[in-house]
Chain A
Amino acid sequence: MPKPKSITVPLSDEAIEDLRIGDAVLISGVVYTGRDSAHKRLLDALDRGEQLPVDLTGQIIYYAGPAPAKPGHPIGSIGPTTSYRMDPYAPRLIARGLKGMIGKGNRSSEVIEALQQYKAVYFGAIGGAAALMAKSVKNAEVVAFEDLGPEAIRRLEVKDFPAVVVNDCHGGDLYKEGMETYRRD
């Protein structure tokens, strides 16, 4: 695999345009966690015309709910959850400036279109390699919806968090192309 690209959040349009499917990246900066319930609340807030509890402009949401942190660890094991459950919510957040999502599994055509229209990217993290990924998290704090427990929104400070570009802003889809490349009939 070619050398991973180091990228820093917040992500600019230029940085996004530079990313292609299959690129290995190491992400540094701030990443917010959010799963189903947190997304629902974010969109409910938008519907009511309220401010979001976090400013998502240029930011990345990591679809993840960590295991409890052991004493002395900033966070417990933290790998991606399946992304399709967030598909109904993602396009609206992308339209409001969200630049990246980290998860696992296929996205809907609406999400993939939004990535192209608003220049954003979908990264795949390694499902199940959660103890390894926790090593990239230097700091973590709950910033919204604390009552949701593992599903609360956490602000993570990450250093060299490993991921792979699955859907880029050019319409590429690694899940499709990777499968085509290695399929044997």
Chain B
Amino acid sequence: MRTLNVSVLTDAVKTLCMEANYDLGDDVIQSLRTWKEKEESPTGREVLDKILENAAIAGKERVPLCQDTGFAVVFVEVGQDVHFTGGDFQEAIHEGVRQGYQEGYLRKSIVSDPIERKNTGDNTPAVIHTDIVPGEKVRVILAPKGGGSENMSEVKMMAPAAGIEGVKSFVVDRVRRSGANPCPPVIVGVGIGGTFEKCAQIAKRALLRPVGSRHSDPYYAALEEELLDMINRLGIGPQGFGGRCTALDVHIEVHPCHIASFPVSVNMQCHVSRHREVIL
């Protein structure tokens, strides 16, 4: 058994909030660079160039890449042999978000009640997904999620008969209908299977995979590539101004499902794809 004071968790979350919002991942930068060479639209190339310049400025000046510094979504994998001391586990995470958003000059974008819509003032609460895993380590992944791309996401309870063709048309159509709203180029997280909520959750997890990586199952790896190609034929292009580069990648996660069900979800992610992790 390992004892861990929750203040360690608070400090880790605080640092991750800032790093995730200032530093664009190398995988995204690499992909944007490659696309800058390939993009057919001159305006599209110019947009990609500005996005890369933006990443350089944000990283250097330690300012957020995007003004929408997101909802703090935290995935925590807790080793079952860890014993937390010194306070409430969840509150320690919220406190990390509170400190990170305050000290990091990040925008506070959370309202406490969806109808009343009063800002909580410190970007809390976080959305926390906790998994208990073997071992005595704690893995914390922080993925701030902007509203523009989140709003273009969807879960659809399809009929099993819709099959693979149903998945393809739903995903591609979701991207087409989103147009410029999610700030393309986007990364498309797709969940297939599970229950209603599981399906949405695996689509979000799919966004944590590095751009350019493929599903371990060759069938889904091929489907990812096919969907990416279909999406990049839509013509939406960078910022919707027209062009080839609409999506940097498509990531699929699958889960067993009920004999009567066939849930499919799309979680849209803008090019400001933020996720940072640490192992404690």
Contact string, A76-101, partner B, CB cutoff 8 A, digits 1/0? 11110110100000000000000000
Of A24, A79, A177, A180, the most chain B CB neighbours within 10 A belong to A79
Closest A residue, CB atoms, query B271: A128
B67, A179: Cβ atoms under 8 Å?
Answer: no
A180, B235: Cβ atoms under 8 Å?
Answer: yes
Task: Report the minimal beta-carbon distance from B71 to chain A, rounded to whole angstroms.
Answer: 15
B58, A164: Cβ atoms under 8 Å?
Answer: no
B46, A24: Cβ atoms under 8 Å?
Answer: yes
A130–B47 alpha-carbon span in the complex (Å) = 13
B180, A129: Cβ atoms under 8 Å?
Answer: no
A29–B148 alpha-carbon span in the complex (Å) = 28
B51, A129: Cβ atoms under 8 Å?
Answer: yes
Q: Kindly list chain A residues whose C-beta atoms are within 8 Å of the C-beta of B109.
A: 150
A182, B63: Cβ atoms under 8 Å?
Answer: no
Contact string, A150-185, partner B, CB cutoff 8 A, digits 1/0? 100000000000101010000000110111111111
Partner of A128, one of B51, B57, B107, B234: B51
A54 on the B face (CB < 8 A): no
B241 on the A face (CB < 8 A): yes
B242, A124: Cβ atoms under 8 Å?
Answer: no
A68–B243 alpha-carbon span in the complex (Å) = 33
A82–B244 alpha-carbon span in the complex (Å) = 22
B225 on the A face (CB < 8 A): no
Q: Kindly list chain A residues whose C-beta atoms are within 8 Å of the C-beta of B233.
A: 183-185
User: Interface stretch among A5-13, A45-53, A113-121, A131-139?
Assistant: A131-139
Q: Kindly list chain B residues whose C-beta atoms are within 8 Å of the C-beta of A73.
A: 63
Q: Kindly list chain A residues whose C-beta atoms are within 8 Å of the C-beta of B15.
A: none
Known A-B contacts A66-B67, A76-B105, A124-B180; the reply to A130 vs B54 at CB < 8 A is yes
A130, B65: Cβ atoms under 8 Å?
Answer: yes
B68 on the A face (CB < 8 A): yes
B105, A132: Cβ atoms under 8 Å?
Answer: no
Q: Kindly list chain B residues whose C-beta atoms are within 8 Å of the C-beta of A185.
A: 233
Q: Which of B22-63 contact A (CB under 8 A)?
A: 40-43, 45-47, 50-51, 53-54, 57-58, 61, 63
A77–B58 alpha-carbon span in the complex (Å) = 9
B234, A183: Cβ atoms under 8 Å?
Answer: yes
Known A-B contacts A79-B66, A132-B57, A134-B63; the reply to A164 vs B241 at CB < 8 A is yes
Give the interface residue-count category, chain A: 35 or more
Partner of A77, one of B53, B63, B183, B237: B63
Of A69, A81, A129, A179, the most chain B CB neighbours within 10 A belong to A129
A66, B107: Cβ atoms under 8 Å?
Answer: yes
B242, A181: Cβ atoms under 8 Å?
Answer: yes
Known A-B contacts A77-B58, A175-B180; the reply to A67 vs B242 at CB < 8 A is no
A78–B57 alpha-carbon span in the complex (Å) = 13
Q: Kindly list chain A residues whose C-beta atoms are within 8 Å of the C-beta of B147.
A: 81-82
A128–B43 alpha-carbon span in the complex (Å) = 16
Q: Kindly list chain A residues whose C-beta atoms are within 8 Å of the C-beta of B65.
A: 77, 128, 130-131
B69 on the A face (CB < 8 A): yes
A162, B50: Cβ atoms under 8 Å?
Answer: yes
Of A67, A73, A76, the most chain B CB neighbours within 10 A belong to A67
B residues whose Cβ falls under 8 Å from a Cβ of A: 40-43, 45-47, 50-51, 53-54, 57-58, 61, 63-69, 105-109, 119, 147-148, 151, 179-181, 183, 233-237, 239-244, 270-272
A residues whose Cβ falls under 8 Å from a Cβ of B: 1, 22, 24, 64-70, 73, 76-79, 81-82, 84, 104-106, 124, 126-132, 134-135, 149-150, 162, 164, 166, 174-175, 177-185
Enumerate the 3 nearest inter-chain pairs by beta-carbon distance, A residue then B residue, closest first. A178-B242, A127-B183, A183-B235
- Please name 11 pairs of A and B residues whose Cβ atoms are closer than 8 Å in the assembled complex, sorted by A: A67-B64, A77-B67, A82-B147, A126-B50, A128-B51, A128-B271, A130-B68, A150-B108, A150-B109, A175-B241, A178-B41
- Given pairs A128-B54, A130-B64, 5 additional interface contacts (CB within 8 A): A24-B43, A68-B105, A76-B64, A82-B148, A127-B270
